[in-house]
Structure 1
Amino acid sequence: MNWYLYVLKKYAVFKGRARRKEYWYFFLVNIVISVVLSWVDTRLGTPGSAEGAGLLGSVYSLAVLLPSIAVGVRRLHDIDKSGWWMLIGLVPVIGFLVLLYFFVQDSQADSNEFGPNPKKSREGHMHL
């Protein structure tokens, strides 16, 4: 849960690097929260829940959209890729697979143009 809060603390920070742990824990917690909110939306019968986009889930998705994009950009920076690679996600199937391949790669061992390796620097540790 700390990694989730760490990403939210950097709500719209597109500079720097994000290690795999930061990205994937944020992703996992988002999935869990989304499933729970979907269940709650269905039980409460909130507007849109019958179509699969209930009110609570939609508000949550909108709230975490910017930090989700930001942590994805920082994750790409960690493997020395431009944040513009996030746009490949707009290409059906292929885009998802390319981003998945990028996001599972280990950090670039040394500093790169986006900053020092977060595994080796103090910045890579959580300060909540």
Structure 2
Amino acid sequence: MGIGDGRRQAGPGFAGFIDRLGESRSGRTLIWCLDFRGRLPRWQFWLYIAAFTGYLALLNMWAGYLDEETPRLIWVAGAPAIVAMVPLVPLAIRRLHDTGRNGAWLLLSFCAAIGFIIVLVLLAMPGQKGANLYGEWIPRARAHDPRR
């Protein structure tokens, strides 16, 4: 790997960690989930929402079986739920990119219930066929591959 060959060596620090993380399949998937660039097909976004909802339901059932005080329940069930919500923002932004909208539309969800409903409708709309400002259209056959 010489200078100018287009590849960067994994150095020390956070950048080196990210480079090394991208070498494994699970690392590529994690980086793919946290990437704000590009587009995300509708079915992939709603699949993540379904998995996230199932995960929250399991956490809720598990926390219900625990007979302990409330502050501990917050850490047992709340912390993993918050960690699972982290990829939701980049995935929603990429979903909005697929419909040809800027990720700033996601801020509308903080404006009472009507803003949340508007964003939910935008996320449910079909994506634009062909290239748009945020990248090429991703055919369903290629959409599952985190290496693209």
Bucket of the pairwise TM-score, normalised by the shorter protein? 0.7 to 0.9
Q: Does the alignment pair 1:39 with 2:61?
A: yes
* Contact 1:76–1:83 (Cα < 8 Å) also in 2: yes
Query: TM-score under structure 2 normalisation?
Result: 0.71
Larger Rg: 2
Unaligned runs of 5+ in 2: 1-27
Which of structures 1 and 2 has the larger relative contact order (alpha carbons within 8 angstroms, sep 6+)? 1
Aligned residue identity for 1:43: Y
What's 1:125 paired with?
144
What's 2:70 paired with?
48
Q: 2:124 aligns with which of 77, 93, 104?
A: 104
Identity, % of aligned positions:
22
Q: Does the alignment pair 1:12 with 2:45?
A: no
CA distance in 2, matches of 1:101, 1:22: 16
Unaligned runs of 5+ in 1: 1-5
What's 1:3 paired with?
none
What's 1:89 paired with?
109
Aligned residue identity for 2:145: M
Alignment length, in residue pairs? 120
CA distance in 1, matches of 2:140, 2:57: 34
Q: Displacement, 1:48?
A: 3.1
Which whole-Å deviations, capped at 9, do the CAs of 1:60-79 have from their partners, x for residues lacking one?
22212321001000000000
* Contact 2:29–2:146 (Cα < 8 Å) also in 1: no
Q: Displacement, 1:9?
A: 4.9
Aligned residue identity for 2:81: S
* Contact 2:34–2:87 (Cα < 8 Å) also in 1: yes
CA distance change for structure 1 residues 20 and 46 in 2, over 3 Å: closer, same or farther? farther
Runs of 4+ aligned structure 1 residues displaced above 6 Å come to: none
Q: Displacement, 1:108?
A: 0.2
CA distance in 2, matches of 1:46, 1:87: 36
What's 1:74 paired with?
94
CA distance in 2, matches of 1:36, 1:75: 26
* Contact 2:41–2:127 (Cα < 8 Å) also in 1: yes
Secondary structure of the corresponding residue to residue 112 of structure 2: coil
